[in-house]
Amino acid sequence: ADGARDLQVDIGGLMGEMIDRTDLAYAKARLLGALAATVVVIFSLVAFRSAYLALVTVITIAITVASIYGLATGVYTDGVMDWAGLDSMRSIGGLFWAVPLLSFSLILGLGVDYNIFLIMRVIEFRKTPGITDTEAVALGLSKTGPIITAAGCIMVVAFGSLLLSSLTILNQFGLLLFLAVLVDTFAVRTV
């Protein structure tokens, strides 16, 4: 039994190619994730002219990404929604390999978009004479909150409709985007 650990098995054909491509995609995903975070920081530094706001942008996006991938793992790996009896949210042993890779850029884009929209309004109010930082944040949230909420509700319905598909990959993609919009719109942006 101990000798089996040293055994190397090569797989050929379509399945072997799929495994190799999956491994390569995930190896590159780490690099692309780091590159994406770096680009977000650089653009945020340029747009906001503040290291603090650039850091806030990256942290809020990281919170959204980590929480929705965790929730999706709970659904599709651990079966936390199996009790509901919905085919689109039943445990199937994990996420389809391409879903996290394909959804990442959309989730990143949503987070960056909401951050820019909110922070630019806060900066605009902060430049108004007599307005404190706290008041600028409150005004920024009050002015952008309804717009971000309305856009989030529209996207929740659109992405949630993917849960009605009979294709597992679309269900998983839909749940990730559905959760990303919910978390980003109603939890992360309000904090």
What is the overall mean pLDDT for the chain?
A: 87
Residue for token pair 């909150």: 145
Rounded CA gap, 171 and 169, in Å? 5
pLDDT band at 75 (very low <50, low <70, confident <90, very high): very high
For residue 83, pLDDT beyond 90: yes
Q: What is the DSSP letter of 90?
A: S
pLDDT band at 10 (very low <50, low <70, confident <90, very high): low
Q: For the segment 26-46, what is each residue's pLDDT rounded down to a tens digit?
A: 888 889 888 988 998 999 899
Rounded CA gap, 55 and 162, in Å? 33
Q: What is the pTM of this model?
A: 0.81
Query: Which alpha helices (DSSP H) does the chain contain, by range?
Result: 13-48, 51-76, 98-126, 133-160, 168-183
Structural domains of the chain ordered from first start: 11-188 (1.20.1640.10)
Q: For the segment 119-149, what is each residue's pLDDT rounded down to a tens digit?
A: 889 889 999 999 998 999 899 988 988 898 8
